[in-house]
Amino acid sequence: MRAWYRHRLKAWHLFLIPFCLLWGYPFIWMISAAFKSQREMLLGGLSIIPQDWTLRNFQRAWTTARFGDYTINTITYSVTVVILVLLVSALAGYALARKGLPGKKAIVAVLVVTMFIPHGYTIIPTFLLVNGLGLNNGLLGAALAQAGPVLVVPVLLFMGFFAGIPKELEEAARVDGAGYPRTFFQIMLPLAKPVIGTVALMQFISAWNAFFIPLVFTLGRPDLRTLGVGMFNFFGQNSTDWTGLAAGACIAVIPIIVVFLFLQRTFVEGIAGAVKS
Amino acid sequence: MTTTQSRGGTVAASSAPPPARGGTTVHRPPLLPRLRKHWWSYVFLIPMILLFGAFTVWPMIASWWYAFFDWDGVGAATDWVGLGNFTEVLGNEMFWQAFWNSFLFSVVAICVEMPLALLFAILLNNHRLRGRDLYRLALFLPVVATTAVVGIVFAVLFDPAGGVVNDTLTGLGLIDRPINFLGSTTTALPTLMGIDLWKGFGITLIYWLAALQTVPKEIYEASRIDGANSGQQLRYVTLPMLTPIAIVILLLVFQRSLNTFDLVQATTQGGPVRSTDVVPTYIYRYAFDPFIQAPRYGFACAAGVVFGLLTLVITLMQAPLLRHRYKAGAA
């Protein structure tokens, strides 16, 4: 009985291995096509390993299709979003962790409620507001629009973390003459490294992958496109340059996958934590 | 109001605020000194209130306001049309088509993706399965990849002229001539749903795996002693224990799938002949499409508001059912 059970478990590999390979096929195709010559692609080679390896596609994507610029834009955009979210949510989370802060419950309630009320699509007022601030067609405006709605979970994470720190630590700092801001920046914030890591990683990945907001806010400035938006426009104009597309896709997707692979535990735990709590 | 404040003021002046007792009636210290005591906290809250207020709360309110105007975004909104935009949205067949498609994305995510991900989660939760971390990673990778980019990669794979999928299918003799997966009104929507499932599967899988972690091991042991086999364990132990979390997962999956934009915009832009149009692409078209003569911000806002209300209604319709099941799961 036992042996049969163990064999049955092993039999699952016969299903899982091909399934996962098929699942990952788009990535495999992407990488292999990026190194194939355009000629080989046109002849319809289905083989995964390119006949003659070439870096031409990457060159073309990087310079002609401006993926180099797009990469820099994407990094600027993502880093700005991460810094904004971290700073704003850490400050707010610290303040909201205080016991007996008047208005605390109301603020937390508003935060949570907006997360659960479906509010349709509010991109237009956001767009008009950024326009009104004179930040349209700039990456800062897009970063603000991206950072605003995603604050809730980071604020709650920081709040939960700071509320769990013993009060004595704060009091000791106060006795030593540290004021409120100094206690926060020099003592409390360094303690919050795990939360900072989780929030930074989650926000970096979602900002890197964002499409709607960068698309809307760079309509008038093609030079500020991020990778996703650039890819979209490249596809619209050159839908036949498949190897160039594949190289562009690699430039857009592989860095973020590498970041994820190094820090996957943090990321997966972050998502899982959202469900459990 | 004034009396309580003056009374409280004397208390605070004479002594420190009394400590809150465990009882139900707490003698609260007066508001003003408490505000003053916490004023640094309020300073710390200002950036969040500004950012969140400006980019989340304000857009929610302003959507409603703009929806009453016929407005192309030039100058101030002055052309009040009352409920005109709303009646136009509700009477617009294209809007309902887009809404129906958005809804179908949710139906597929809830009825296909969720159960499928649960099966994989149960399988991958088995400690004796070798290499389960690797499988999990492979299934999760699509989640991390940029939707717009993988959408375009899929568009190439599904291309009728030399795309890998069609080449393979014709090569195997399964089809006679290539299928225009994303270019025909009958196949485009199911194809996009398939890609959407591929993209979102990993997140749902992680949700379920997290949920399975919450089931205490002792219960399995107890049920095994009682003679339950693995099928019975699944039916009578795992599934009932998962119900409360399943409801949370359901809501998360529902929200995500209803807001499909990136994939559709990147691949078909709602076409062919609007057969894959979803509400977000519909709104985008009226407000931002470079090929329209003048944007219709008011109308697009009205469509957004109607979409939000319809979603709210659907969510509320689920509520009694969910509460019932939640109780059953908790009991």
Task: Using an 8 Å CB-CB cutoff, list chain B residues near A118.
Answer: 255, 258, 308, 311-312, 315
10 Å CB burial of residue B239 (0-12, 13-18, 19+) is: middle
pLDDT 10s digits, A118-147: 666 788 889 889 988 888 788 999 999 999
Degrees, nearest 5: CA angle A113-B71-B103: 45
pLDDT 10s digits, A160-206: 999 988 888 888 888 888 888 888 998 899 999 888 988 998 899 98
- The residue ranges of every structural domain in chain B are 29-57, 93-330
B17 DSSP 8-state letter = P
Asked if A212 and B51 come within 8 Å (Cβ–Cβ), the reply is no
Residue B53: how many CA atoms within 13 Å on its side-chain side? 7
User: pLDDT value at position B97?
Assistant: 94
**Cα–Cα distance between B309 and B316 in angstroms, integer?**
10
CB B94 within 8 A of CB B271: no
Asked if B56 and A149 come within 8 Å (Cβ–Cβ), the reply is yes
ipTM score of the complex?
Answer: 0.86
User: pLDDT value at position B1?
Assistant: 36
For the domain that residue A159 is a member of, what is the CATH number? 1.10.3720.10
Nearest to A228 by CA among A245, A210, A243: A210
Nearest to B287 by CA among B318, B253, B261: B261
**Cα–Cα distance between A105 and A103 in angstroms, integer?**
6
Number of neighbours of residue B15 by Cβ within 10 angstroms: 8
Which residues are paired to B80 by β-bridges?
Answer: B69
Asked if A211 and B148 come within 8 Å (Cβ–Cβ), the reply is yes
Q: Which residues of chain B have pLDDT under 70?
A: 1-29, 321-322, 324-331
Task: Using an 8 Å CB-CB cutoff, list chain B residues near A248.
Answer: 149
Residue A263 forms part of a structural domain: yes
State the best of A121, A126, A202, A258 to mutate against chain B, taking most chain B CBs within 10 Å.
Answer: A121
Nearest to A30 by CA among A250, A251, A257, A228: A250
Q: Which residue has the tokens 């355009």?
A: A38
Asked if B45 and A13 come within 8 Å (Cβ–Cβ), the reply is no
User: pLDDT value at position A77?
Assistant: 95
> Mean pLDDT across the stretch A77-95?
95
pLDDT 10s digits, B36-54: 778 888 999 999 999 999 9
User: Alpha-carbon torsion A99, A102, A106, A107, what sign?
Assistant: negative
Asked if A110 and B57 come within 8 Å (Cβ–Cβ), the reply is yes
Q: Which of residues 54-113 of A touch B (CB under 8 A)?
A: 84, 87-89, 91-92, 94-96, 98, 100-102, 107, 110-111
In angstroms, the separation between the Cα of residue B146 and the nearest Cα of chain A is 4
DSSP state string for B64-113: HHHTTB---SSS----B-TTHHHHHHHH-HHHHHHHHHHHHHHHHIIIII
Tokens of A171: 């009091």
**Cα–Cα distance between A99 and A142 in angstroms, integer?**
35
Alpha helices by DSSP H, chain A: 2-23, 25-34, 38-42, 56-59, 67-96, 104-116, 123-132, 139-147, 152-163, 167-175, 180-182, 189-191, 193-209, 212-217, 227-237, 242-262, 264-276
Asked if B48 and A260 come within 8 Å (Cβ–Cβ), the reply is no
State the best of B74, B119, B153 to mutate against chain A, taking most chain A CBs within 10 Å.
Answer: B153
What is the residue type of A23?
W
Could you tell me which residue, A116 or B125, shows the higher pLDDT? B125
Residue A81 forms part of a structural domain: yes
Straight-line distance from the first to the last Cα atom of chain A, in angstroms, rounded to the nearest whole number: 40
Asked if B262 and A212 come within 8 Å (Cβ–Cβ), the reply is yes
Residue A18 forms part of a structural domain: no
How many beta-carbon pairs below 8 A join chains A and B?
270
Asked if A124 and B66 come within 8 Å (Cβ–Cβ), the reply is yes
- List Cβ neighbours of B94 (8 Å cut-off, separation of 6 or more): B274, B277, B282
Task: Using an 8 Å CB-CB cutoff, list chain A residues near B56.
Answer: 114, 122, 148-149, 151
Q: Which of residues 171-200 of A touch B (CB under 8 A)?
A: 179-181, 184
What is the residue type of B101?
N
Straight-line distance from the first to the last Cα atom of chain B, in angstroms, rounded to the nearest whole number: 46
User: pLDDT value at position B17?
Assistant: 44
Which CATH number is B93-330 given? 1.10.3720.10
Longest dimension (CA), chain A: 77
Which residue range(s) make up the domain with A187?
A: 62-276
CB A260 within 8 A of CB A206: no
In angstroms, the separation between the Cα of residue B186 and the nearest Cα of chain A is 22
Residue A10 forms part of a structural domain: no
Tokens of A190: 């360094």
Contacts 24+ apart (CB under 8 A), B284-293: B284/A123, B284/A212, B284/A216, B287/A123, B287/A124, B287/A127, B288/A127, B288/A216, B288/A219, B290/A219
Task: Using an 8 Å CB-CB cutoff, list chain B residues near A242.
Answer: 156
User: pLDDT value at position B48?
Assistant: 93
In angstroms, the separation between the Cα of residue B330 and the nearest Cα of chain A is 15
CB nearest A95 (choices: B41, B144, B209) = B41
CB B34 within 8 A of CB A104: no
Number of neighbours of residue A44 by Cβ within 10 angstroms: 12
The answer, for A227 touching chain B at a CB cutoff of 8 Å, is: yes
Asked if A260 and B144 come within 8 Å (Cβ–Cβ), the reply is yes
Residue A55 forms part of a structural domain: no
CB nearest A245 (choices: B144, B156, B248) = B156
Asked if B139 and A275 come within 8 Å (Cβ–Cβ), the reply is no
Asked if A252 and B288 come within 8 Å (Cβ–Cβ), the reply is no
**Cα–Cα distance between B64 and B52 in angstroms, integer?**
18
pLDDT 10s digits, A21-49: 999 999 998 998 889 888 787 776 667 78
For B269: left if phi > 0, alpha if psi spans -120 to 50, otherwise beta; the answer is left
In angstroms, the separation between the Cα of residue A72 and the nearest Cα of chain B is 16
Task: Using an 8 Å CB-CB cutoff, list chain A residues near B148.
Answer: 211, 228-229, 231-232
Task: Using an 8 Å CB-CB cutoff, list chain B residues near A46.
Answer: 164, 167-168, 171
CB A191 within 8 A of CB A202: no
Asked if A271 and B309 come within 8 Å (Cβ–Cβ), the reply is no
pLDDT 10s digits, A58-75: 988 898 888 999 999 999
CB nearest A88 (choices: B51, B140, B157) = B51
List Cα–Cα distances, A69 to A62, A63, A248, B137, B262, in angstroms: 8, 8, 12, 30, 21
CB nearest A95 (choices: B44, B144, B152) = B44
Q: Taking the C-alpha atoms of A244, A249, A251 and A252 in order, what is their torsion angle to the nearest 10 degrees?
A: 140
User: pLDDT value at position B13?
Assistant: 40
CB B279 within 8 A of CB B104: no
What is the residue type of B178?
P
CB nearest B167 (choices: A46, A184, A219) = A46
A52 DSSP 8-state letter = S
Task: Using an 8 Å CB-CB cutoff, list chain A residues near B54.
Answer: 129, 144, 148
Q: Which of residues 117-156 of A touch B (CB under 8 A)?
A: 117-129, 144-145, 147-149, 151-152, 155
CB nearest B48 (choices: A16, A129, A155) = A155
Nearest to A112 by CA among A155, A168, A171: A155
Counted domains in chain A: 1
CB nearest B48 (choices: A26, A151, A260) = A151
Asked if B138 and A123 come within 8 Å (Cβ–Cβ), the reply is no
**Cα–Cα distance between A181 and A173 in angstroms, integer?**
11
